[in-house]
């Protein structure tokens, strides 16, 4: 049974390990651990920005970041952005991802959000199928630009 909770600073190494678990993560999650701790500290001070972990038997097995965005569009609705969704390879296809998304949606609803949004890398075919099964539609085209 997965228990969902706010991440603690001590969870950062386990979260980074989950981020590094797939091919994309192995190539892009190369920062020093101090950088991840600094980012966690900054996130903890940002209103409406949460890092959530799922744990079982005291071990972090899943994670996601949830950010609330208040805006004027869509009749001044509030939306939730979910990022960095990861489930340990050991627990995939066991319903943990679906439970993760239900937890994120519950938190977003509780925060007054009327829309949940996310992006997924074009190469993550399995992730895209997962999100579609969870009721998400690829209704928009997303763009990103690196600001290095």
Q: Which two tokens stand for residue 4?
A: 């969902």
CB 125 within 8 A of CB 23: no
Q: Is residue 143 part of a domain?
A: no
Pair 14, 65: CB distance under 8 Å: no
Predicted TM-score of the model (pTM): 0.91
Q: In this predicted model, what pLDDT tens digit does every residue of 106-125 receive, in sequence order?
A: 999 999 999 999 988 888 88
Residue 64 within any structural domain of the chain: yes
What's the whole-number mean pLDDT along residues 51-77?
94
Answer yes or no: is 101 within a domain: yes
Structural domain contains residue 139: no
Higher pLDDT, 79 or 142: 79
| Residues 9-53 pLDDT 10s | 999 999 999 999 887 787 888 879 999 999 999 999 999 999 999
Domain of residue 20, residue span: 3-133
Number of domains making up the chain: 1
Give the CATH number, domain containing residue 98.
3.40.630.30
């Amino acid at each position: 049974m997965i228990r969902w909770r706010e991440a603690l600073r001590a969870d950062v190494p386990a979260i980074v390990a989950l981020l590094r678990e797939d091919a994309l993560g192995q190539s892009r999650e190369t920062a020093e651990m101090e950088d991840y701790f600094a980012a966690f500290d900054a996130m903890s001070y940002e209103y409406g920005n949460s890092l959530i972990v799922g744990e079982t038997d005291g071990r972090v097995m899943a994670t996601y970041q949830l950010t609330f965005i208040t805006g004027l569009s869509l009749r001044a609705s509030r939306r939730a952005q979910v990022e960095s969704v990861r489930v340990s390879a050991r627990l995939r296809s066991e319903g943990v991802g679906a439970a993760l998304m239900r937890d994120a949606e519950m938190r977003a609803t509780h925060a007054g959000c009327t829309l949940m949004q996310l992006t997924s890398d074009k190469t993550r075919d399995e992730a895209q199928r997962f999100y579609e099964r969870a009721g998400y539609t690829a209704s928009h085209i997303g763009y990103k630009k690196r600001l290095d």
